[in-house]
Amino acid sequence: MTIADEEAEQLLKARLGELVPDALVVGEEEFSGSSDLQEALNHHRVWLVDPLDGTANFVAGSPQWAVMVALVEGDETTAAWIWQPAAGVMYRAQLGAGSDRNGIPIIPTPASAEMADLRGAVLTRFLDGPMTERIDASRHRFRSLGPGTTSAGVDYPLLAVGEQDFVMFWRTLPWDHAPGSLIVSQSGGSARRLKGDRYSPKRMGEGLLAVSDHRRWQPIRNALLDESNDESRSDG
């Protein structure tokens, strides 16, 4: 946490509170580690705020960081924004209305049907030993499998515009994933828990696989976890 995180969250909280007065603002700096988080998420309308996603990158002088906001109504993320200040790029999405980059609609990009052509990332920092071994054993199946950027606000947009094919996270705090998962899903991709159920920011859990092309979710999941004969199926 930095002063920039705290000050940005306070500014966003004040402005978002004006835009939708009946929505509860749930920010990372205020609610991270709080026992009140689940109760807050159960509010009927919630603003999720990550004021500076990729803090370590920001402190190191890297441009790979972002500001993220999502509006959650009921059990659905209905709107999302990811602002990458260093790049001057804004990604937006509205449920059922697609996503855009600096106002230009993002056109879905089909992923290759060949696993060996796919480029992905797995954030291994929070994986346990057995899961780390499974991921390491799958690396040869893909064109590349890197560690990600350590900023969900950078990794998710790479999926949305087709510059990366998949990314897997383990820790899934709601402000980290609600914005990006909507932007990806509205640009032809999908974000699901590893058992195949749809991601919801109101339901806590571990493990999330996001893909640029929703039709490739199950094959990528099986290849990553070495479960080519897995019987679970995804409806996209």
Averaged pLDDT, 5-10? 92
78 lies in a domain? yes
| Mean pLDDT (the chain, rounded) | 93
Residues comprising the chain, all counted: 236
Q: pLDDT value at position 232?
A: 40
Are 84 and 135 contained in the same domain?
A: no
Domain closes at, from 105, 139, 166 = 105
**Looking at residue 120, which CATH number applies to its domain?**
3.40.190.80
Are 98 and 123 contained in the same domain?
A: no
236 lies in a domain? no
What is the reported pTM? 0.93
Are 92 and 143 contained in the same domain?
A: no
Q: pLDDT value at position 90?
A: 98
231 lies in a domain? no
For the stretch 222-229, contacts whose Cβ atoms lie closer than 8 Å and that sit 24 or more positions apart, written own/partner, are 223/115, 223/138, 223/141, 223/142, 224/120, 224/122, 224/134, 224/135, 224/138, 224/166, 224/168, 225/134, 225/138, 225/194, 226/134, 226/137, 226/138
Averaged pLDDT, 140-164? 96
Q: How many beta carbons lie within 10 A of that of residue 65, not counting itself?
A: 24
Q: pLDDT value at position 9?
A: 93
Instruction: Count the domains in the chain.
Output: 2
Domain closes at, from 76, 105, 134 = 105
Q: Please name the residues in contact with 74: beta carbons below 8 A apart, sequence gap of 6 or more.
A: 44
Cα Rg of the chain, angstroms: 17
Give the model confidence (pLDDT) of 67-121 as tens digits: 999 999 999 999 999 999 999 999 999 999 999 999 999 999 899 999 999 999 9
In this predicted structure, the answer to whether residue 236 has a pLDDT above a threshold of 80 is: no
Give the model confidence (pLDDT) of 192-214 as tens digits: 999 999 999 998 889 999 999 99
In this predicted structure, the answer to whether residue 164 has a pLDDT above a threshold of 70 is: yes
Are 40 and 65 contained in the same domain?
A: yes
Are 123 and 55 contained in the same domain?
A: no
Structure tokens at 108: 């879905």
The more confidently predicted of residues 156 and 32 is 156
Are 129 and 201 contained in the same domain?
A: yes
35 neighbors 41 (Cβ within 8 angstroms): no
- 1 pLDDT band, cuts 50/70/90, is confident
Q: What is the domain extent for residue 213?
A: 115-225
In this predicted structure, the answer to whether residue 228 has a pLDDT above a threshold of 60 is: no
Are 99 and 120 contained in the same domain?
A: no
Are 136 and 91 contained in the same domain?
A: no
In this predicted structure, the answer to whether residue 183 has a pLDDT above a threshold of 70 is: yes
230 lies in a domain? no
Are 49 and 150 contained in the same domain?
A: no
Q: pLDDT value at position 226?
A: 81
Q: What phi and psi, each to the nearest 5 degrees, are found at residue 28?
A: -60, -45
Averaged pLDDT, 185-198? 96
In this predicted structure, the answer to whether residue 35 has a pLDDT above a threshold of 50 is: yes
**Looking at residue 20, which CATH number applies to its domain?**
3.30.540.10
Residue 145, CA atoms < 13 Å, CB-side half-sphere: 20
